[in-house]
Amino acid sequence: MPSAPSNFTSASRPHWFAAALLVVAVALAYVASLRAPFLFDDTGAVLNNPTIRRLWSLDVLRPPADGSTTTGRPLVNATFALNYALSGDHPWSYHALNLVLHALAALTLFGLVRRTLSTLNFQSSTAVAFTTALLWALHPLQTESVICIAQRTELLCGLAALLTLYCFVRGTEPVAPSKIWFTLSVVACLAGMAAKEVMVTVPLLVLLYDRTFFAKTVSAAWRARRSYYVALAGTWLLLASLVARSGGARGAAAGFGLGVSSWSYLLKQGEALVLYLRLSIWPHPLVLDYGDAVVHSIIAVWWQGLVVLGLLAATAWALVRQPVFGFAGAWFFIILAPSSSVVPLVTQTMAEHRMYLPLAAIVSVGALAAHRWLGFFAPWLLGMIALVFGGLTVARTFDYRDSITIWTDNVTTHPEVARGHNNLAWALQQHGQSAQANEHFARAIALQPDYVAARYSWGVALLDQGRATDAIAQFEVAVRLAPAHADAQLNLGNALMQVARAADAIPHYEEALRLKPAADAHFDLGVALADLGRNNEAALHFRAALQENPALPEAHYWLARIAERAGQLTDAERDYTETLRLAPEHAAAHARLGVLLARSDRLPAAAEHLRAAVRLAPADADVHANLGNVLLLQNQPREAIAEYEAALRLRPNDPRTLESLQLAREALR
């Protein structure tokens, strides 16, 4: 095994001050992000992820195979389960852990660069390592990876990759227990395979690193550490099994045969790589979502293609003549290869978070060149750049303070991205700004008429606005474009019910139930059947809904109504009582149970429930009148008169209430 230079041990003295300063800088730059809400892919990764609800369940290692950011990534899913145990659906702990992971990655990069430069007898290894890690950690291009909770995939994968290399370097020290460090390197690589598929490149990077800084040739590296490389390659088996378990692709998010050709995607990546390089040097403007556009003609990206080919050629040359710089170029291209080559990632053809780890190569080359050319002045210049980066990062964290702000920024910088308009519209709708929301929904659909998500979201928003007829139009287009969209089928049924078209709603409820059996689909279908008088069928679906979700008070309420209509008063009373056990403030259940108890001459209990109904629904004339009837039967005419008069204020000249009021007044006289 090649021996390290004699100054390696002296260079490995602890540099706690630099490490502490690095952690403080990261914390100050990102502390405002702790208040950021769930955004973008966070909904699928966390809020709609049932497998993270129980920390100690094996389900945390079986994330949903739905193409979300946790699919095939059990380590990421497990960390979300830990966060859920700490803070549930509150995002602060998720952001805090992202921040911790980013700080750990920065520390690992600091150690890796310092030890690497020590092998080259570089005089300012600590200074270069510190400025590299600081620039990398504070670079505004990293904000999406750190602030968006779903991008923990990048953080865990990046940390695992850096630890794999760092432990390898430690294992090459002649005074270190190399087997332990090599073992830790393999463990880190194995963990990374469970975090993100791009980790597939790391064993190759380690071999190239060994060839560059230690063994000088690939064959020498293999001969010196054959068993280590066999173990490292063995981590691919875990990745292969995870990919196979998720169906060989990421659902509708990535893979072949999803409507985007490899050639069109590859052309788009020429544009993407040049953009990533520009943002690495001049990080403005930053964009959360670049959309899913591709390039169909090489003419559109000819100069970007030439730039990329030139850089690839320069990297190949440097690997032979200037191996250190060649390794940096290879680091950039190899890590980006899985996402920026021929495998289409159709939901996002460009994304800033993909630069999380590749950025280290660009920053380290810049820091190393600055120290070589500027000497004593380099740390001051790089420190000033880091301060500027930190300020820009702080400013960017405030863009993430709420969904309206970040999506407004997105549509301002990239107005042609339909998804940005859709997401902004949804955020506006949730904050009660319906008019502005409708404008952006319309813009999203104008940009992309077959955009199913926008059609569906607009339909839901229109339902919330009470515009059921307009909602039906959007849902109908959504189910025509995507017949397997269970939620669109379900909400189309709901919209049809709102315009009293129960018979038309039933087929859509049935289709939603076939596509995705769930309590809400059973319940909604039951309501439609009951509306048509098909009570026996309705009762079957209400019971099925309760099997899916026993804590569904409305299902019990409807079963009680059906039983009451059928004269099964004991069953009705039981289900009304169960409704109130699950929902003590259910006004209608109190009202119906009160009437039911009055019929069986249990007047005090009836009065208690009717008083509760009056409290909960003071604008219901029937409730006041029924309470008046019960009070009159209990020989409380004065109280009964008050309830009848309240009913008549709500429904003047009702003959039955007027008659009851007259009886109460006679009883009082």
Give domain status of residue 443, yes or no: no
Residue 10 in this model has a pLDDT that exceeds 60 = no
Residue 252 in this model has a pLDDT that exceeds 60 = no
Q: What average pLDDT score do residues 307-330 get?
A: 96
Is this structure's pTM higher than 0.85? Answer: yes
| C-alpha separations of 117 from 121, 260, 315, 333 in Å | 6, 43, 20, 22
Q: What average pLDDT score do residues 154-178 get?
A: 90
Give domain status of residue 467, yes or no: no
pLDDT for 543-584, tens place per residue? 999 999 999 999 999 999 999 999 999 999 999 999 999 999
Residue 209 structure tokens: 């690193």
Final residue of a structural domain among 398, 424, 446: 398
Final residue of a structural domain among 378, 398, 418: 398
Which residue has tokens 């590296």? 221
Q: Tell me, what's the pLDDT at 178?
A: 72
Average pLDDT, the chain: 93
Q: Tell me, what's the pLDDT at 413?
A: 95
Give domain status of residue 189, yes or no: yes
Q: Quote the CA–CA distance of 516 and 66 in Å, as a whole number.
A: 13
* Percentage above 90 pLDDT, the chain: 87
Give domain status of residue 199, yes or no: yes
Q: Quote the CA–CA distance of 11 and 121 in Å, as a whole number.
A: 10
Torsion of CA 385, 317, 339, 208, to 10 degrees: -90
Q: CA triplet 32, 153, 64: central angle to 5 degrees?
A: 115
Final residue of a structural domain among 343, 369, 398: 398
Residue 319: domain span = 16-398
* Percentage above 70 pLDDT, the chain: 96
Give domain status of residue 494, yes or no: no
Q: Tell me, what's the pLDDT at 257?
A: 63
Residue 366 in this model has a pLDDT that exceeds 80 = yes
Residue 259 structure tokens: 């409507």
pLDDT for 447-457, tens place per residue? 999 999 999 99
Number of neighbours of residue 296 by Cβ within 10 angstroms: 12
Give domain status of residue 628, yes or no: yes
Q: Tell me, what's the pLDDT at 9?
A: 39
Q: Tell me, what's the pLDDT at 68?
A: 81
pLDDT for 194-236, tens place per residue? 999 999 999 999 999 999 999 999 999 999 999 999 999 999 9
Number of domains in the chain: 2
| Contact partners, residue 499, CB within 8 Å, separation at least 6 | 468, 469, 472
Give domain status of residue 437, yes or no: no
